[in-house]
Structure 1
């Protein structure tokens, strides 16, 4: 119904790559080139310039992208509303989720959503909290689900699930269970997620409230993978600080145990994040579904289960 060439242009502009756009849209690169040339012919202007081995948007391309994002977003809303007239839920939702949520919370819920709404296609990308916020602001995704303490004024955050970051160690380690004085955390060998991770940002923020600088910690390694940290902890006496949701299985089967500190815990919110003023009905449908399933699965840890 809408001009597919706009979608092709949008993907090329987002990626600044004909090859990546072809992969995402699952069409050939010559087809991508053809659509772009057709648009340039219609507007009698170049949309991209080549600089060395890269392409960049021309001023005309920047203008087209701004309107293109708005047009395609509005088309998706129209498509959803028109099918609702026949009591059908049809559309597409582009989701961005930070790593803990994407790996340990969403998969089951997304499978259930696809079962209940087979005519709504989902596309999920997994990045850290900062990248999700940037993608949302650039309209590359429709809804974000993030875990970090970041709060951008141009975005709207809605908590949907409570989380706790816990200190875990392999069960065979000689260190006692505590609770230890919080100052001891400076001595313990830690393995943490990367600096831009929502988990690490939450740890830093909560320690600062107790006048403990992040730089004073004995961090043996930063690792960009929760599963990598878990594997490292299993084969060392290091302590990992991770979401309780990511280590439930290992705690239940006795591979890990939790180390407690006196008068200290790291609690945070998992949040939906949207652009301010977003009134998408299909987005609200998705968020209501996740809230419902979170309540069924986790009870009082869901905000609607208070």
Structure 2
């Protein structure tokens, strides 16, 4: 097993912050510093360089971190193999999941509740970011598996289709846009609120409009907002147009607080994918979660 000192080092190295590692590990900064100094004494060299309020890994620290990541994956594989041979072996297990906003808010809660009832020894951490940031977090080994909208695919990751979701053009119930039927050529004349760069929803809109000769840059963008909820709340308070995932606005549509604004010949649909680092596709813990999530989701549809 990896020692507690090495696990603490890995968290500091991952976050490049003693303060953040203290918060995620629930250990005082002084205790973390003692463990790091103990490792530096053992390896007879520094593992971090201090730059005022910031730290970075030394060459030795980076080498140690890279090897510990490999060792962590081997340990997880060993635990899974032993568990197959001996069902009574139940080591405390952690699963780090990253998901884009729609999945984190509207799909995962029910999945994770059911999953934890079946696997009570599992500790789950969920990172909620836009799709681009989730992809980067997976590449940086900050999470074990991600669920993202379709992006430009990276050749060091594998992509497994999960589900599709419609993106609707909507306005508030008090907007003068209510009741109008638009064509794509109208869009450069209509104020719009959009998601931030890196959002999978924005990528779908950008791609479809670009095919029709209307780049997103040509739209009169009032504001860009990080997160579906922030965008939804802005549109509820404003009279502009916005593009929002249907799954995120079902209640508001039913109540008439938001109204779909049909745009002729424009259908926006996005596909969500499970993403894994190549070489980790045999990770039983991740694969069990993926299969459970697919099954749970299909049963609810």
State the TM-score, normalizing by the size of structure 1: 0.93
Of 181, 187, 190, which aligns to 2:189? 187
Moved more, 243-252 or 178-187: 178-187
What SS does the aligned partner of 1:140 have? Answer: coil
Q: Is the counterpart of residue 282 in structure 1 residue 282 in structure 2?
A: no
**CA contact 1:76–1:92 (8 Å) conserved in 2:** no
2:154 maps to which residue?
152
1:190-217 deviations in Å (ceiling 9; x for gaps): 1111122111111111111111111111
What SS does the aligned partner of 1:292 have? Answer: helix
Q: Which runs of 4+ in 1 moved over 6 A?
A: none
Alpha-carbon offset, residue 176 of structure 1: 4.6
What SS does the aligned partner of 1:269 have? Answer: strand
The correspondence of residues 230-241 of structure 1 with structure 2, limited to 5 A, is 230-241=232-243
The correspondence of residues 24-173 of structure 1 with structure 2, limited to 5 A, is 24-87=24-87, 91-173=93-175
1:81-113 deviations in Å (ceiling 9; x for gaps): 323333366522111111121111111111111
What SS does the aligned partner of 2:75 have? Answer: helix
CA distance in 1, matches of 2:45, 2:236: 59
What SS does the aligned partner of 2:111 have? Answer: helix
State the TM-score, normalizing by the size of structure 2: 0.94
**CA contact 1:7–1:72 (8 Å) conserved in 2:** no
Alpha-carbon offset, residue 140 of structure 1: 1.3
**CA contact 1:233–1:240 (8 Å) conserved in 2:** yes
Alpha-carbon offset, residue 56 of structure 1: 1.5
What SS does the aligned partner of 2:182 have? Answer: coil
CA distance in 2, matches of 1:87, 1:177: 60
Moved more, 43-52 or 169-178: 169-178
CA distance in 1, matches of 2:150, 2:201: 6
Q: Is the counterpart of residue 261 in structure 1 residue 267 in structure 2?
A: no
Of 206, 227, 230, which aligns to 2:229? 227
1:3 maps to which residue?
3
CA distance in 2, matches of 1:177, 1:280: 51
Paired residues, number: 298
1:277-306 deviations in Å (ceiling 9; x for gaps): 2110110000001100110122xxxxxxxx
1:301 maps to which residue?
none
Moved more, 177-186 or 243-252: 177-186
**CA contact 2:132–2:151 (8 Å) conserved in 1:** no
1:68-88 deviations in Å (ceiling 9; x for gaps): 111112212222332333336
Q: CA RMSD in A?
A: 1.5
Moved more, 49-58 or 285-294: 49-58
CA distance in 2, matches of 1:92, 1:85: 20
What SS does the aligned partner of 1:71 have? Answer: helix
CA distance in 2, matches of 1:45, 1:175: 65
CA distance in 2, matches of 1:186, 1:62: 49
CA distance in 1, matches of 2:96, 2:269: 28
What SS does the aligned partner of 1:27 have? Answer: coil
From the superposition, tell whether residues 50 and 166 of structure 1 become closer, same or farther in structure 2 (CA, over 3 Å): same
Which runs of 5 or more residues in structure 2 are unaligned? none
Alpha-carbon offset, residue 54 of structure 1: 1.8
1:303 maps to which residue?
none
CA distance in 2, matches of 1:119, 1:260: 48
Alpha-carbon offset, residue 14 of structure 1: 1.3
1:127-177 deviations in Å (ceiling 9; x for gaps): 111211111112111000111423111111111110111111122333254
